[in-house]
Structure 1
Amino acid sequence: MSAKYISALCLMACLSGYGQENTGPVTLEYCIETALQNNLDLKSSHLKANTARVNYRQSRFNILPNANASYNLGVTNGRSIDPYTNSYLDQRLTFSNAGLQLNFTVFNGFRLLNTIRQNRYNLQASEMEVREARQNLVLDVTLAYLQILNNRELLKQARARMETTGKQLERLGSLYKEGSGNPADYTDMQGQLALDKTTAIQAENSLKASVLNLYQLLNTEGTPNMAFAGIEATDTLQQYPLSAEEVLTDALANLATFKAKALRLDAAKNGVKVARAGYIPQVSIFGELNTNYSSAAEFLNETGTSVEETGDFVSVNGQEYPVLREETHHVGEAISYEDQFNNNLSSAIGLSVTIPLFNGFRARNNVALEKIKMEESRVDLENTTLQLTQAIEQAYLDMQSAYDRYHILTGQVKAYEESFRVNEVRFNSGVSNIVEYITSKNNMDNARIGLANAKYEYLLRVRVLEYYRGI
């Protein structure tokens, strides 16, 4: 078997598996995984965390010394200063200089250390906010998924209701054609069927809207799949095992939202310490290494001597004699670029102290602003705690209410189902009228709808409480 044939078979198998994977019903786990991969808000949270990570890393690197090198090369024309001799020249001059500077902060009021701590808390808060975004997304997807199942159940009941009404209409139609039925019963049943069809259309639209809402959270393209897998749940719902106080205790210990706010407060406290460093002198050590080059620089080589008249005279016995002097002759020789850089090398080392005397009250105002930010973070944390407590109490109350309604409506559904069974037999036998039949049927259908709503509301509230616990 050739390699090309084997590759073709593998490709067909992969495509076949891919197609099968996308033809089955959509599960909650698939929705959560897809949302975590595609949701833009979550991606934005990751980017913010990456920014905080870079800032934290840079604040640590700021402790290291600053080292900078410089190099210049240029040409001047006209009157200029020779960088080699510091004398004025009026000629074309090529110049160059190089330097190396080193600066190390010894003490600056612990500004660098407190900045590191502040950025570390900001990084941890950003990571918690990513976790918070993940938890929120998982909760939103789960609630949207449960809403789909609820609407699907309501659509199923609406269609069953319409089907039952349609069968009765067919029976009454046959009786009407045979002349033995009541024409009013037939037309009343037609009106009931129209009402059931309207209810089914509304339920179908609600289902489509909930599916669309879910796929918007998933941020996927293409036609939404309308087949969804159910969630395992017992026929009889069990009482939630925890109290509202226990849920709140777990939330304060585990919920990423609360942890992120607490870390932002810690970062703000260190921000105040960073601002207070503006009152304290800064001590640093510096060092420099410099050299330069000038095309005007040259060596003077001696080529000999000569006796020349100076232009002055001396008189001896009335006779004038010229004054002579011996002059040494030189020839200029350019100094090489490398030699000048070696010969002109200079260095410096020292200690620098910067004392803040007056800066327009900038330091004091910076401290005041950072204190305001700290108080804002504190209030934000307290507000988050308050909102969290109220949300948990409300969710727990709604969950308990849904649980109680579910068990009450369970008995109501059984009673109305039995009542409808009896009335249907009586109506088919001609003992009761259509008003009793429709009333009994509507009571049973409404009770079933209420039971389904109570069931899924309970599941929704339980998911919300588990979210608050950090699960």
Structure 2
Amino acid sequence: MNFKLTALLLLLFTMGSMSAQQKKWTLRECVEYAVENNLTVEQYELDLLSAHIDKSDALGDMLPNLNASMSTSGNTGLSFDPTTQEPVTTTIMTASGGLSSSVTLFDGLRNIHRLNRAKLNALSNQYRLDDLKDDISLNVANSYLQILSNKETLKVFNARYAVTEQDLKRTKELVEAGVLPSGDLLEVEATAANLEQQIVNTENQVLLSRINLAQLLQITDYENFDIVDIDFEIPPTDILNNSPKEIFAKALTFRNDIKFSQSNIDLAIEDLKITKGALYPTLGGFFNYNTRFSDQERFDNITGQLFRESFGDQLWMNDGISYGLQMNIPIFNGFSVKNNIKRSQINVERAKLQLEQEKLGLETNINQAYVDVKSFSKAYEAAQKTLDARRLAYNYSKERYDVGLMNAFDFSQAQSRVDDAAAELVRTKYDYMFRIKVLEFYFGVTLDLEGY
């Protein structure tokens, strides 16, 4: 029975391991996993939680506080009874307690500005987090498409190698029959060896690109990590119907990096308001309630006997209340307030310059992406035409080679040109696809993950 149970558990474990090894990731899964497990994202999320706590602190600073206190002590020898303020020379136990509350009524509106700043800071941290997620999504998509590009290139070389093996077999038969010289066989063998080397190099590129994506996802099991093998065609797009200025104008309305820079200006302005608030007087209110108890006995002049008031009666008889207002007026603080205001004004200007710099960088990136889409579109069309022409030339060369009108060296060169053209077409295809996605992303088109 134990043997059967062990065998069953081993089988289930093996099946689970095979299932894990056979899992292939879609682009949607890669992006979601990268966003959920990225360490920087986790840090930014903690910053966002901290910003929400700061908002709660700012709101709490506008409310009255309430504190309770209590103490007890014993004294032997000369001391003062806190309930009668009379000196006594005995052992006395005393206790006191109270409640105190204070509230800021006016502090130059700094409490209101602190609350506004805390709200803006939480919003700013959200923009920063969303911008990071956008960057991660694009990086993962680029790495994902790079793997697909390398895999498709590998398929091209494998298919060409299969054809070359047939040519090698045919050439060997013709050489043995005395139709072709032995040098032609050596040339075809050299072509096959060159293809084998290209296949090995491309396999390494596939592995390296898989490792690169796995690292983005922070997955260490590189050997078992792989993506879904899907052939993609160039997606239809009308993004080039919009000018770079139109794309830039729309990007300014939703880009999280721009919103983050704008929120930094708002934060700097709130900091300036908080700093200026130090120029105004502050007004606060306070309320205190105190009571005390003593175990000291008293002499009753009427009865002529000693007695002690009960604990409850003493708390009632010995309590007291104090309340009032307190105002502080700043007169001179060694230029600290004035200098802090100047620093805050400089920070406002610095934040504005940072926003303009972000806008310039965004406009540059959009113009570059626009040019890349047009240039890679032309490059892809040119690569397609080149491949078609190389294939026609190859077919013509093969016909001449089969009837002995072309030597093996020239024929192998025709084959190599077809291989290079096919590999170039694959590269330009995926480069073009990624550039389209980048430009559409700047225009507000969500990264399309369906079917990836």
* TM-score, scaled relative to structure 1: 0.84
Whether contact under 8 Å (2:185, 2:408) holds in the other structure is: no
Quote the Cα distance in structure 1 between the aligned partners of 2:285 and 2:237.
73
Q: 1:398 aligns with which of 363, 369, 372?
A: 372
Q: 3-state SS of the aligned residue for 1:290?
A: strand
Code of the aligned partner of 1:165? T
Shift of 1:281: 0.6
Kept in 1: contact 2:391–2:418 (CA 8 A): yes
Alignment of 1:468 with 2:442, yes or no, is: yes
Q: Which moved more, 1:20-29 or 1:206-215?
A: 20-29
Residues 162 and 87 from structure 1, CA distance in 2 versus in 1: closer, same or farther, beyond 3 angstroms? farther
CA contact (8 A) 1:131 1:256 kept: yes
Cα distance change, pair 292–257 in 1 and its aligned pair in 2 (3 A):
same
Per-residue CA shift, 1:123-178, capped at 9, x if unaligned? 11111122212212221121111111111111111222332333322333333444
**C-alpha contact (below 8 Å) 1:28/1:229 kept by paired residues:** no
Root-mean-square deviation over aligned CA pairs: 2.7
Query: Is 1:295 aligned with 2:295?
Result: yes
Check the 8 A contact 1:211/1:224 in 2, yes or no. Answer: no
Moved more, 69-78 or 237-246: 237-246
Q: Which 10-residue stretch deviates more, 451-460 or 81-90? A: 81-90
CA distance in 2, matches of 1:405, 1:210: 23
1:407 counterpart residue number: 381
Q: Which amino acid aligns with 1:465?
A: L
Percent identity between the aligned chains? 27
* Structure 2 residue aligned with 1:206: 205
Instruction: Work out whether residues 80 and 89 of structure 1, in 8 Å CA contact, stay in contact via their aligned partners in 2.
Output: yes
Task: State whether residues 258 and 355 of structure 2, in contact with CA within 8 Å, keep that contact through their aligned partners in structure 1.
Answer: yes
Is it true that 1:142 corresponds to 2:141 in the alignment? yes
User: Aligned with 1:99: secondary structure?
Assistant: strand
2-side partners of 1:209 and 1:20: how far apart?
Answer: 23
Change (3 A) 1:88 1:186: farther
1:452 is displaced (CA, Å) by: 1.5
The offset of 1:370, in angstroms, is: 2.3
**What residue number does 2:318 align with?**
344
Q: Show structure 1 runs of 5+ residues with no match.
A: 1-15, 305-329
Map of 2:104 onto structure 1: 105
Does structure 2 retain, via aligned residues, the 8 Å contact 1:74–1:96? yes
Tell me, in whole angstroms, the C-alpha distance in 2 between the residues paired with 1:238 and 1:351: 69
> Residue 366 in 1 paired to residue 365 in 2?
no
Q: Which residue does 1:197 correspond to in 2?
A: 196
The SS at the match of 2:248 is helix
Q: Secondary structure of the residue that 1:240 maps to in structure 2?
A: helix
Q: Select between 147-156 and 22-31 the one with higher mean Cα deviation.
A: 22-31
TM-score by length of 2: 0.88
Structure 2 gaps, min length 5? 1-14, 447-452
More divergent stretch after superposition (23-32 vs 43-52): 23-32
Shift of 1:79: 4.7
Aligned length: 431
Q: Greater Rg, structure 1 or structure 2?
A: 1
SS of the residue 1:72 aligns to:
strand
Pairwise CA distance, 1:331: 3.4
**Corresponding residue for residue 185 of structure 1:** 184
Decide whether aligned partners of structure 1 residues 238 and 22 sit closer, same or farther in structure 2, where only a CA change above 3 A counts: farther
Could you say which residue in structure 2 is the equivalent of 1:233?
A: 233
**1:14-72 alpha-carbon deviations (Å, 9 max, x no partner):** xx999989856432222223223322222222221111111112212221111111111
2:282 partner letter: Q
Higher strand share: 1
